[in-house]
Amino acid sequence: MADQAQSTATLRLTVGTLRIVHPITVPSGPVAASEVVPALQGLVNAVVAEAERGQTISCRKGCGACCRQLVPVSRSEGERLVQTIAALPAERRERLQARFAAAESRIEAAGLGDRQGRSDRELSAAYFALGLPCPFLEDESCSIHPERPLVCREYLVTSPAALCAGAAQEGVTPVAVPKVSLAARGLQDDKDDWFPLAMLMAWARRRRHTATRRAGPEWVQRFLARLSSASR
């Protein structure tokens, strides 16, 4: 990637009620979708920054209640996260893999390993009831914060952080952030367009390893087309 040609463009978007002007840089040539995830992270960050403008955000390092929610991850993000874990020092990688194995066991024991027959809302409520910390959570903070999933970036509150731990989420006031992350689902034309972050290693074992390669700008165009369709 270091010596690969890059393409840069300035995106001018209307997302919900927000107007976004954001430069985006991606590889010019054919790459796997995971290679444009950093550009998508930057775009989501820009949308979130505009949405939270003028508000006082309660979220702080050390308040990890939201890290016990079900975090939906797209295939492209999953591939990026697998690469992130593979690049870690061996000892840290082994600790993470052990946490993922423990999380997978608890999810399977609770009967939540299969999404069939459950609405996303039902699945999310049952998952949160487990109180299962994200395997990346350390000292109540995200240990991969720069690489955290897109949807994690979109969840912010203005209410007291302590309320987020409540089972019914009573009194929690989220910031109204357009769910740009949804456009990453199915980006590679997969039917199974997302999975819970805590099942990352289980997903990695069964995923197909032949990734479609497209020019970086083409991946962005596909993402924007999906974003446009989702907002109609």
Q: Which helix (H) or strand (E) holds 218?
A: helix 216-230
Inside any domain, residue 24? yes
Q: Round to whole Å and give the CA distance between 103 and 101.
A: 5
Return all residues near 18 (Cβ < 8 A) that are at least 6 apart. 47, 50, 51, 178
Number of domains comprising the chain: 1
pLDDT value of position 202: 94
Residue 136 is encoded by which pair of tokens?
């990346």
Q: What is the pTM of this model?
A: 0.92
- Kindly report the number of other CB atoms within 10 A of residue 49's CB atom: 14
* 81 occurs within a structural domain: yes
pLDDT at 3: 57
Give me the residue label for tokens 């991606």: 26
pLDDT of amino acid 116 = 72
Quick one: CA dihedral 30, 34, 38, 40, positive or negative? positive
Q: What domain range includes position 37?
A: 6-230
What pLDDT sits at residue 191? 65
- The number of CA neighbours under 13 Å toward the Cβ of 96 is 22
Q: Cα angle at 216 between 211 and 220, to 5 degrees?
A: 100
CA 82 to chain centre: 13
The neighbour count for residue 83, using CB atoms within 10 Å, is 14
pLDDT, position 79: 95
Residue 192 has a pLDDT of 61
Query: 6 has which bridge partners?
Result: 27
User: CA 122, CA 77: separation in Å to the nearest integer?
Assistant: 24
What's the confidence (pLDDT) of residue 1? 43
Block mean pLDDT (10 aa), the chain, length 232: 80 94 96 96 97 93 90 95 96 96 95 82 90 95 96 95 86 94 88 87 86 94 90 61
Asked if residue 78 belongs to a domain, the reply is yes
165 in any annotated domain = yes
Q: Is residue 1 part of a domain?
A: no
Instruction: Provide the pLDDT for residue 42.
Output: 97
State phi, psi for 24 to the nearest 5 degrees: -135, 135
